[in-house]
Amino acid sequence: MELTELGLDRVLAEQARCEPGQRLARVTAVDRGRYVVRNELGEVPAELTGKFLHTAASSVDMPCVGDWVCAEYHDAASHASIHDVVPRRSFLRRKSPGKNIDFQMIATNIDVAFIVQSCHFDFNVRRLERYLVMVNEGHIEPVLLLTKTDLVSADELEHMLASIRAAGITARIVALSSMTGEGVDELKALMLPGKTYCLLGSSGVGKTTLINQLLGKDALETGAVSGTGEGRHTTTRRHLVTLDNGGLLIDMPGMRELGILSAGEGPDDSFADIKMFASQCRFADCSHVNEPGCAIRKAIANGELNPEHYQSYLKLKAESDFNEMSYVDKRQKDRAFGKMVRSVLKEKR
């Protein structure tokens, strides 16, 4: 297998700066600090060098599934040491679960993210918007997958599709059923050799069953389905698998929390319709509350903008701004503490 078949492109190859004796490899699995890397010869377990651990500034710098790394192979290439991570061209990250304000890297170097929701129990437009913020921030193309269409009527499915479009979401949508096979061939046709894809969604929406259909075999364990049609969570770690057509797919556990921790434009890029209306306001600093000539308020009054969609934007924007401010403050405190420690150590010498 060539490295290009593992997703290595020209940009990533040019950014790789591996030392003599090191080889490029891709991280295909991460589980509780243990790694698996793959190169032209196959997969081997890997661990981080002490130097890497010492120089890593935060958890964001640690390797994750999809990363390209500089690895040194040992004992007839039976295991490897990871020395460095190649700069990422795309990424998935979120706010760490709980009260801590920090990033959690999920996966990297992804071309397309399939955002999966079940038509039967999981469908939620507001949650779709959160996933889209995460995907757009990481410079990844989103595609929406609505699974278990066999459990709803045609009218119910049409209503779901209409509610997605009414929210200003323009991403491609594929409706499919693992039971009937509807939409599976359409999904397969979207997946190209050497490109990396991932499945995002809550536990039990059918991601593992879908992967088995894409692989053409029951390679991954699936959980029993409850009486409500809700599947049970089976994936316990993130890992990258190769499909028969040469596409690369990252499976990952379902996410219970989707805290937004954006940089730059953040949610603005995921709400293009609101951004477009805001650009038409009379005043550049319009707060969209009571200023004359507000295009946002006019669009809501005219039925051109869904008020629930706008309220969701305001909520995500406020959450993003708060977390971003808290994150910057946290990093400043971490740097100040680090300087103090180095100063104390220097005085003791």
Domain spans of the chain, in order of start:
3-85, 91-251, 266-348
Architecture of domain 3-85: Beta Barrel (2.40)
N-term to C-term CA, the chain: 52
In 201-328, DSSP assigns E strands to 238-242, 248-251
Mean pLDDT of the chain: 82
**pTM of the complete model beyond 0.85:** no
Give the list of residues 6+ apart from residue 198 with CB closer than 8 angstroms, or none: 66, 92, 107, 110, 112, 113, 114, 249, 250, 251, 252
CATH, domain range 266-348: 1.10.40.50
Architecture of domain 91-251: 3-Layer(aba) Sandwich (3.40)
Instruction: Judge if 91-251 and 266-348 fold alike in CATH terms.
Output: no
Question: pLDDT of 247-274, one tens digit each?
Answer: 999 987 655 444 544 544 556 666 778 8
Give me the pLDDT at residue 226, please. Answer: 38
Distance in angstroms (rounded) separating the CA atoms of residues 46 and 74: 10
Distance in angstroms (rounded) separating the CA atoms of residues 75 and 81: 11
Distance in angstroms (rounded) separating the CA atoms of residues 279 and 311: 18
Question: pLDDT of 223-248, one tens digit each?
Answer: 444 343 444 444 456 889 999 899 99
User: What type of residue is 93?
Assistant: R
